[in-house]
Amino acid sequence: MTFPSGDATLFFTTVGAGPAVVLLHPTPVDHRFWLPLAETLAPNFQVILPDLRGHGRSEAGLGPITVEKLAEDTARLLDHLAIAKAFFAGCSIGGYTLFEIWRAMPARVCGLAFCCSRPQADTEAVRARRLANLAKIREGRIAEFIEEQLHSLIGPSARQRWPEKVDAAREMMETVSAEGLVAVQEGLAARPDSIATAWTIRVPCCVLAGGEDPASTPSDMRLLAEEIRQGGGSVEYVEIPDAGHFAPFEQPERVALILQRWLDVSDKSAK
């Protein structure tokens, strides 16, 4: 299924029925990242799985793929489905988008689950790595870029135990065009700091960290949980010691149980 959003036509699929839950995947993969987890949630929730612009079967549109654009896309998807409010979960760039969703449309948010998505903006060192990635992509060294991403985004435990997951992630990454890869790296480099935003969140939150994640470390994710809590928000913090940046993809059954419990409690408290 597709829907129009600004200068792009975007793809999404849904499974299940019940309260709406939107799952926003990381880069450079697509909605299939969430499918095993979504099947666990489907008996009790309507799980909505978009391909973010520039990924999977969604067009990139023009210019950098920013969190502002991704939040606008999400709002238009809810409009397309005639859904007033939803729960949202996001991993990496999907989680960064949740901060913008809260800033832009808090009235449409039932709860937020941040998976491996730190609140801080990029440091100078991270921006330098993004510039190096952009150079690789523009020089046509996309296969090299993908192999580096697989090594850094999937934790060592998962790479050793489930090599088929590495192959599945590689297949998704290889569908992203060079233009899409460039646009998302440019957008990530421009994303704002969201620590102050965390203070303002007043809906139930779940913060999930991977113990093997070098990009959004457990320390980063504990900071997010503490900022939400100090601002007066409700938050559950969970750490999976043997998971990396792609924790929901690496261990979907385990993360599904965490989200299922959090969603059940949050949905009941809202009624």
**What would the pLDDT profile of 48-62 be if each residue is shown by its tens digit?**
999 999 999 999 999
* In the predicted structure, residue 103 carries a pLDDT above the cut 70: yes
**What would the pLDDT profile of 25-40 be if each residue is shown by its tens digit?**
999 999 999 999 999 9
How far from 240 is each of 81, 117, 144, 177, 234, CA to CA, in Å?
34, 14, 29, 32, 20
Q: Report the mean per-residue pLDDT for the chain.
A: 96
Per the CB < 8 A criterion, the answer to whether 25 and 53 are in contact is no
What torsion, rounded to 10 degrees, do the Cα atoms 58, 93, 46, 36 define?
90
**What would the pLDDT profile of 193-230 be if each residue is shown by its tens digit?**
999 999 999 999 999 999 999 999 999 999 999 999 99
269 or 161, which is more confident? 161
Domain boundaries, the chain: 2-270
Give me the mean pLDDT over the 59-87 stretch: 98
DSSP symbols for 119-150: SSPPPHHHHHHHHHHHHHHHTT-HHHHHHHHH
Position 271 scores a pLDDT of: 64
* In the predicted structure, residue 269 carries a pLDDT above the cut 80: no
Q: How far apart are CA 179 and CA 181, in angstroms?
A: 5
> Residue 114's beta-bridge partner residues?
90, 207
Position 149 scores a pLDDT of: 97
pTM score, whole prediction = 0.97
Per the CB < 8 A criterion, the answer to whether 16 and 45 are in contact is yes
Give the whole-number percent of the chain exceeding pLDDT 90: 94
**What would the pLDDT profile of 146-169 be if each residue is shown by its tens digit?**
999 999 999 999 999 999 999 999
- List all residues 6 or more positions away from 66 whose beta carbon is below 8 Å from its beta carbon: 187, 190, 191
Give the whole-number percent of the chain exceeding pLDDT 70: 100
Classified by CATH at the fold level, domain 2-270 comes out as: Rossmann fold (3.40.50)
Q: How far apart are CA 246 and CA 243, in angstroms?
A: 7
**What would the pLDDT profile of 179-196 be if each residue is shown by its tens digit?**
999 999 999 999 999 999
* In the predicted structure, residue 257 carries a pLDDT above the cut 80: yes
* In the predicted structure, residue 268 carries a pLDDT above the cut 90: no
Model confidence band, residue 174 (pLDDT cutoffs 50, 70, 90): very high
Give me the mean pLDDT over the 59-83 stretch: 98
- Most distant CA pair in the chain, distance: 54
Q: For residue 20, give the DSSP letter.
A: E
Position 78 scores a pLDDT of: 98
Model confidence band, residue 112 (pLDDT cutoffs 50, 70, 90): very high
Name the nearest CA neighbour of 70 among 110, 105, 45, 18. Answer: 105
